[in-house]
């Protein structure tokens, strides 16, 4: 009986060792990193008419996309919600409390601490190439630097300066300011 139990433990240990070896040490092929696209939108709610000006987008998603009947968010305010998505932290931990600079929406504490610890900086450290286009944080580009800074972790950057508008806005394109008018309409 003792011999049988030892054999069972030895077999289990050997199988475990073989599994660990094959997963981590035995593979000579480099691991292929998956490509992915993360799309973040806001103000798409029915009550505020967020999709009204986006008729072609709405048509595309109604034909080829999916609609959610329920949605969940860590914080129902734009800038704190974006901070939660970027960091994986709740509001009391990332300390972005509202959409103002005083509320740390692209304030000093965000730029100097939390922004350097987003999922993007972790992806960059793992060798991913990153690209951003659109509204980042509501107060981006309105304080120091005026949009000349590219937030940590982004290889290619097209960040909206300030809050959302459809026409006559400014973009920071890799730290260079570009004025966008109505010509593209």
Contact 97, 91 (CB under 8 A): yes
Please count the other Cβ atoms lying within 10 Å of the Cβ belonging to residue 137.
28
Contact 135, 158 (CB under 8 A): no
Catalytic choice (15, 78, 79, 105): 78
Q: Which residue in this structure is represented by tokens 């103002």?
A: 100
Backbone dihedral angles phi then psi of residue 82, each to the nearest 5 degrees: -60, -40
Q: Is 78 a catalytic residue?
A: yes
Burial class (CB in 10 A: 0-12, 13-18, 19+), 151: buried
Burial readout 73-85 (b: 16 or more C-beta within 10 A, e: otherwise): eebebbbbbbbbb
Give the residue numbers marked as catalytic: 78
């Amino acid at each position: 009986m003792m011999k049988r139990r030892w054999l069972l433990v030895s077999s289990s240990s050997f199988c475990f060792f073989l599994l660990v070896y094959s997963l981590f040490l035995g593979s000579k092929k480099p691991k292929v990193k998956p490509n992915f696209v993360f799309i973040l939108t806001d103000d798409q709610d029915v009550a505020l008419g967020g999709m009204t000006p986006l008729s072609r987008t709405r048509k595309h998603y109604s034909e080829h996309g999916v609609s959610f009947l329920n949605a969940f968010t860590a914080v129902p305010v734009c800038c704190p919600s974006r901070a939660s998505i970027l960091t994986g932290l709740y509001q009391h931990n990332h300390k972005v409390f509202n959409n103002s600079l005083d509320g740390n929406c692209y304030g000093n504490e965000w730029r100097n601490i939390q922004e350097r610890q987003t999922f993007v900086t972790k992806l960059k450290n793992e060798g991913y190439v990153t690209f951003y286009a659109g509204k980042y944080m509501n107060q981006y580009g309105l304080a120091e630097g005026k949009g000349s800074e590219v937030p940590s972790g982004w290889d290619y950057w097209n960040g909206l300066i300030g809050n959302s508008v459809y026409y006559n806005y400014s973009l920071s394109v890799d730290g260079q300011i570009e004025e966008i008018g109505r010509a593209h309409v």
